[in-house]
A = this chain, B = another copy of it.
Amino acid sequence: MVRIAVAGASGYAGGEILRLLLAHPEVEIGTLTAGGNAGSRLGEHQPHLLPLADRVLAESTAEELAGHDVVFLALPHGRSAEIAAQLPADTVVIDCGADHRLADAAAWERWYGGEYAGNWPYGLPELPGAREKLRGATRIAVPGCYPTIASLALAPALAAGLVETEVVVTAVSGTSGAGKTPKPHLLGAEVMGALSAYGVGGVHRHTPEMVQNLSAAAGRPVSVSFTPVLAPLPRGILATCSARTTASAAEVQDAYAKAYADEPFVHVLPEGVWPTTAATLGANTALLQVTVDPDAGRMIAVGAIDNLTKGTAGAAVQCMNLAVGLPETTGLPVTGVAP
């Protein structure tokens, strides 16, 4: 059994990690920690995690987290680096925050401020070359939710040289992506019935992560125009991604079919079927479809994930499986909860 700890267990990412691990056959759930909620019962914050309801949350310190095989860090940005540095080198540390995602120190400092903490193996195994670095790794950076689906949706076309390198991404997201800290604009009465754009004009922090992934896939610099939109649902991201192309629909569909033929969690849908986030709820699944608009001269790729599962916690568990040598799909649901 793999003994695990979760830091940030009272938040959305931490809760989803625990939901998945409760169904994981090879895991034993150890210490759970929190920030302001330390000292309280998990059941107060995560009423759905019934088997863990009476667990008392410890403080999020390296001392509390030590002594586990795997430590999941589901902490606010900028909080992971310090704790990780104090954990033993042979403990598998899986960071769901942004601290170790970017390879470019200058980019990190421009977008996040503060001191750059370094770059860890990037936890999107479906990207070219990524899976090998994750096998047996002891430090893993889980991708952001938007970069996960944008990268999956665009990488095959860029890698195959089928599209130009200026891409446009509009991604619509449920509100759990904004976290559990209460703010007026995230109140239910505000978000139900509302669609709103935010972080417009290239200022969202997930932009450089997309640039990094897509440039690597293309083998040359890619520019990303990214607009996130908030929509009234708890979970789910639907990304519409496009780029100029002279290829045919059949050519791009063929490239996607080949790129993901052996992937257990990425499904290129049958021709004419377009992704819906509803089919991914609670599953570690990405759904993709792609076509070409010959009038506009653009390829359009659409991808759907659950931002908390494949977009965060499912990816984290998938990475854990790779890190500790379990089959990659262990304990991870493929079928969403629908309707």
Contacts and interface: CB of A to CB of B under 8 A. Distances in A.
A133 B109 CA distance: 55
A53 B333 CA distance: 15
A189 interface: yes
A224 B302 contact: no
Q: Is the interface of A mostly helix, strand, loop or mixed?
A: mixed
B337 A48 contact: yes
A15 interface: yes
A227 interface: yes
A335 B22 contact: yes
A178 B231 CA distance: 18
A236 to B, nearest CB: 5
Nearest to A287: B47
Given A194-B236, A225-B242, A274-B196, A339 B189 contact: yes
A184, A198, A201, A279: most-surrounded residue (chain B CB, <10 A): A201
A339 B234 contact: yes
A277 B193 CA distance: 8
B51 A335 contact: yes
Contacts of A192: 175, 188, 191-193, 232-234
A12 B189 contact: yes
Q: How large is the interface on A (under 10, 10 to 19, 20 to 34, 35 or more residues)?
A: 35 or more
B189 A48 contact: no
A212 interface: no
A249 to B, nearest CB: 7
Interface in A19-66: 19, 22-23, 43, 45-51, 53
A250 interface: no
Interface in A282-339: 282-283, 285, 287, 289, 291-298, 300, 302, 304, 333-339
Interface of A: 12, 15, 19, 22-23, 43, 45-51, 53, 166, 168, 170, 172, 174-176, 178, 180, 182-184, 186-198, 200-202, 207, 223-227, 229, 231-238, 240, 242, 244, 249, 267, 270, 273-283, 285, 287, 289, 291-298, 300, 302, 304, 333-339
22 contacts: A22-B334, A46-B338, A47-B279, A48-B280, A166-B244, A166-B296, A168-B168, A170-B227, A170-B240, A175-B188, A176-B189, A182-B184, A189-B235, A192-B192, A196-B238, A196-B276, A197-B238, A201-B249, A202-B295, A225-B293, A232-B233, A235-B339
Given A19-B335, A175-B189, A190-B339, 19 more contacts: A43-B270, A168-B298, A175-B187, A175-B188, A178-B189, A180-B184, A182-B186, A188-B232, A189-B234, A193-B235, A194-B233, A194-B277, A194-B278, A196-B238, A198-B274, A201-B291, A225-B242, A225-B300, A229-B240
